[in-house]
């Protein structure tokens, strides 16, 4: 088994464990990681080919699906302003993905990835505090 395949197997096992756990922070962390990975792959595929490929469509669709899942998981009653701001950020990222697919201008999606990475970093800090 190559190193890359071993690493993928490890990451898949880690994701599966988070999804099956009772720790919602771990699940959201996995969703963020997968979202960022899919968005980056979408941009990579888009930049490598003049035409939209099946792989481009796969990462585009996966990104939109994860964004929808994150939006759907928000609790506006308990989350208040934070939940509203997260919803706006997810919607912004969704709009940027749609625009990039239409125009092939990646700037908006790059900005959305940067914003999502900041949230992911904050989420990691929260996850670390919850674990303690």
CATH code for the domain in which residue 37 is found: 1.20.120.340
pLDDT at 72 over 90: yes
Share of the chain above pLDDT 90, in %: 63
Distances (CA, A) of 7 to 3, 15, 40, 61: 6, 12, 18, 24
**Residue 30: both structure tokens together:** 């996995």
Q: Assess if residue 7 is contained within a domain.
A: no
Task: Please check whether residue 66 lies inside any domain of the structure.
Answer: yes
Q: In this predicted model, which residue has the larger pLDDT, 56 or 15?
A: 56
- Tell me whether residue 114 is in a domain: yes
pLDDT at 12 (0 to 100): 45
Q: What pLDDT score does 51 carry? A: 86
Residue-range definition of the domain harbouring residue 94: 32-131
Is 8 part of a structural domain of the chain? no
Say if 25 falls within a structural domain.
no
Is 18 within the bounds of a domain? no
Residue 108 forms part of a structural domain: yes
Give the pLDDT score at 132.
Answer: 60
Specify the number of domains making up the chain.
1
Q: How many CA atoms lie within 13 A of 55 on its CB side?
A: 10
pLDDT category of residue 118 using cuts at 50, 70 and 90: very high
The pTM of this model reads 0.79
- Residue 24 placed within a domain: no
Please check the confidence at residue 6 and state whether its pLDDT lies above 70: no
């Amino acid at each position: 088994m190559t190193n890359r395949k071993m690493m993928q197997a490890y990451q898949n096992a880690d994701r599966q464990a988070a999804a099956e756990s009772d720790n919602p922070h771990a699940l959201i962390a996995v969703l963020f990681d997968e979202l960022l990975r899919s968005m980056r792959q979408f941009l990579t595929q888009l930049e490598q080919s003049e035409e939209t490929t099946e792989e481009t469509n796969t990462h585009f669709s996966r990104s939109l699906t994860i964004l929808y899942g994150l939006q759907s998981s928000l609790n506006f009653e308990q989350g208040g302003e934070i939940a509203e701001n997260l919803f706006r950020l997810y919607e912004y990222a969704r709009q940027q993905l749609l625009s990039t697919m239409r125009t092939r201008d990646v700037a908006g999606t790059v900005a959305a990835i940067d914003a999502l990475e900041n949230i992911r970093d904050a989420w990691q800090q929260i996850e670390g505090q919850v674990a303690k």
